[in-house]
């Protein structure tokens, strides 16, 4: 799991899940459940966007390293 999410994202997901479950017990199955579920889903969405951004940046760094290596070869 560590390679998919960093420590901060795992901490945010755990705290959000704990608060969501606590809200379920405190509020019960009422209209406020939709609000709590929405907040939980927004947090999950932000974590997933963070992961996709990390993957994109890593791929970009790899391509940039290849371009720099090719330029270094040309200079020799």
The pTM score is: 0.64
pLDDT of residue 2: 52
pLDDT of amino acid 6: 74
Kindly give, in sequence order, each residue whose CB lies less than 8 Å from that of residue 44, ignoring residues fewer than 6 positions away: 13, 16
> Could you tell me which residue, 40 or 4, shows the higher pLDDT?
40
Q: What is the DSSP letter of 4?
A: T
Task: Read off the tokens for 32.
Answer: 């406020």
Domain ranges of the chain: 7-75
pLDDT tens-digit readout, 12-41:
788 888 888 887 787 777 767 777 778 888
Which tops the pLDDT comparison, 58 or 38?
A: 58
Nearest to 22 by CA among 6, 8, 39: 39
Q: Which residues of 13-39 are buried (b: 16+ CB within 10 A; e: fewer)?
A: beebeeebeebeeeeeeeeeeeebeee
The pLDDT of residue 13: 80
């Amino acid at each position: 799991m560590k390679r998919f999410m960093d420590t901060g994202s795992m901490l945010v997901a755990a705290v959000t899940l704990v608060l969501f479950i606590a809200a379920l017990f405190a509020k019960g199955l009422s209209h406020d459940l939709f609000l709590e579920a929405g907040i939980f889903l927004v947090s999950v969405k932000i974590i997933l966007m963070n992961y996709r951004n990390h993957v994109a940046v890593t791929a970009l760094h790899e391509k940039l390293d290849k371009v720099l290596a090719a330029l270094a070869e040309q200079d020799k």
